């Protein structure tokens, strides 16, 4: 069968460097033997996953890619559909690592879904637009955002390497970055998670304001206990700072 044609509306950029593909799959640990790959395309990562001692399943929305994968990997479990629409606990009633050269246009949504299913996903290895990858890894500063804080609360995150545009078909207009997320030891937050989300979002939705001003819709309790945090902006706070803040927000 001829190669699959990359489709712009799906954000497809097929990696054509097998050495880089191997390096990405090599980042997976043996945390779990189950792996789910998102958007495998023609299987540049898949070929290495099936050679390893993993039970691999793939999720692919592109019908042409699905046909290609089923033809070339007849023993592979291929789910045709949208990963974002899957009920992960129903589809995969076990823990699994998540991997993929994630389509740039839905990469943040994929990570939000991983965050919401974090107790089922102990590890994520993925390729992102470099700017997004750097933002997810950033501990403090202007690159940091809401998703960075959410993920860093439950995952240890490392930036692994940069991938140039010329190893893709078609080449994207940006560089890519590969990152790895590994579930940390925090089982749950010491504050209400919904409140934590609201406070983080409030801080970042008005990121130019100090937290004192950004949190005006909230009632502050024992304000003196967080006096050191209120003059700061959201991007200056660590996860633990946000947790402390939430303990004093009504």
CATH number reported for the structural domain that contains residue 211 in this entry = 1.10.8.100
Q: What separation in angstroms does the CA of 34 have from each of 5, 114, 119, 122, 178?
A: 29, 15, 14, 11, 20
Note the pLDDT tens digit of each residue in 190-241.
999 999 999 999 999 998 999 999 999 999 999 999 999 999 999 999 999 9
Q: Does 157 lie in the same domain as 217?
A: no
Instruction: Give the pLDDT confidence score for residue 10 in this predicted structure.
Output: 83
In a domain, residue 224? The reply is: yes
CATH number at residue 116: 3.40.50.150
Same domain, 45 and 154: yes
Which residues on neighbouring strands pair with residue 99, listed in sequence order? 37, 125
pTM of the model: 0.93
Q: How many helices (H) and strands (E) does the chain have?
A: 10, 9
Residues 20 and 68 in one domain: yes
Q: What is the pLDDT of residue 107?
A: 94
Residues 114 and 157 in one domain: yes
CA distances from 147 to 30, 110, 126, 238 (A): 26, 11, 15, 13
3-state secondary structure (DSSP) of residue 222: coil
Residue with tokens 């501990």: 139
Question: What sign for the dihedral angle of Cα 104, 106, 246, 199?
Answer: positive
- Same-domain status, 39 and 103: yes
Size (the chain), residues: 250
Residues 59, 46: Cα–Cα separation, whole Å: 11
φ/ψ of 72, rounded to 5, equals -95, -20
**Does residue 108 fall inside a structural domain?**
yes
Domain's final residue, options 149, 183, 217: 183
Is residue 152 domain-shared with residue 209, that is, in the same domain? no
Query: Is the domain of 224 the same as that of 159?
Result: no
> Which of 130, 155, 183 lies at the terminal end of a domain, its last residue?
183
> Are residues 139 and 51 located together in one domain of the fold?
yes
Is residue 152, in this structure, part of any structural domain at all? yes
Residue 2 domain-assigned? no
Say whether both 150 and 209 belong to one domain. Answer: no
Residues 81, 8, 169, 127, CA torsion sign: negative
102, 127 in Cβ contact below 8 A? yes
The 8-class DSSP code of residue 249 comes to B
Q: How many CB atoms lie within 10 A of CB 133?
A: 24
Are residue 216 and residue 111 in the same domain, yes or no?
A: no
Distance separating alpha carbons of residues 240 and 50, to the nearest angstrom: 39
Residue 3 covered by a domain: no
Residues of the chain with pLDDT under 50: none
- Domain limits for position 215: 193-246
Q: Which of 225, 229, 247, 249 is closest to 238 using CA atoms?
A: 229
158, 183, 208 - which closes a domain: 183
Sequential DSSP letters for 166-178: GGEESPPSS-EEE
Is position 218 within any domain?
yes
Q: Are residues 150 and 231 in the same domain?
A: no
Domain assignment present for residue 188? The answer is: no
Six token digits for residue 79: 């789910």
> Residues 156, 204: one domain?
no
> How many independent structural domains does the chain possess?
2
How deeply is 59 buried, as exposed, middle or buried, from its count of CB atoms within 10 A (0-12, 13-18, 19+)?
buried
Find out whether 16 and 41 touch, Cβ atoms under 8 Å.
no
């Amino acid at each position: 069968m001829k190669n699959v044609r990359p489709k712009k509306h799906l954000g497809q950029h097929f990696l054509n460097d097998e050495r880089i593909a191997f390096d990405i799959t090599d980042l997976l640990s043996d945390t779990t033997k189950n792996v789910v790959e998102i958007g495998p395309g023609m299987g540049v990562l898949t070929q290495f996953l099936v050679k390893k001692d993993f039970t691999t399943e793939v999720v692919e929305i592109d019908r042409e890619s699905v046909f290609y994968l089923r033809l070339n990997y007849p023993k592979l479990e291929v789910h045709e559909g949208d990963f974002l629409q899957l009920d992960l606990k129903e589809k995969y009633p076990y823990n699994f690592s998540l991997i993929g050269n994630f389509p740039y246009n839905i990469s943040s949504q994929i990570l939000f879904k991983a965050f919401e299913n974090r107790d089922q996903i102990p590890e994520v290895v993925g390729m992102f637009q470099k700017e997004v990858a750097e933002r997810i890894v950033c501990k403090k500063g202007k690159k940091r955002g809401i998703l960075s804080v959410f993920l860093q609360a439950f995952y240890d995150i490392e930036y692994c390497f940069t991938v140039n545009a010329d190893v893709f078909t078609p080449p994207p207009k940006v560089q890519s970055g590969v990152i790895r997320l590994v579930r940390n030891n925090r089982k749950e937050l010491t504050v209400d998670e919904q409140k934590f989300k609201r406070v983080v979002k409030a801080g970042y939705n008005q990121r130019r304001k100090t937290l004192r001003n950004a949190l005006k819709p909230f009632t502050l309790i024992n304000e003196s206990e967080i006096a050191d945090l209120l003059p700061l902006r959201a991007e200056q706070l660590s996860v633990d700072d946000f947790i402390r803040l939430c303990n004093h927000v009504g």
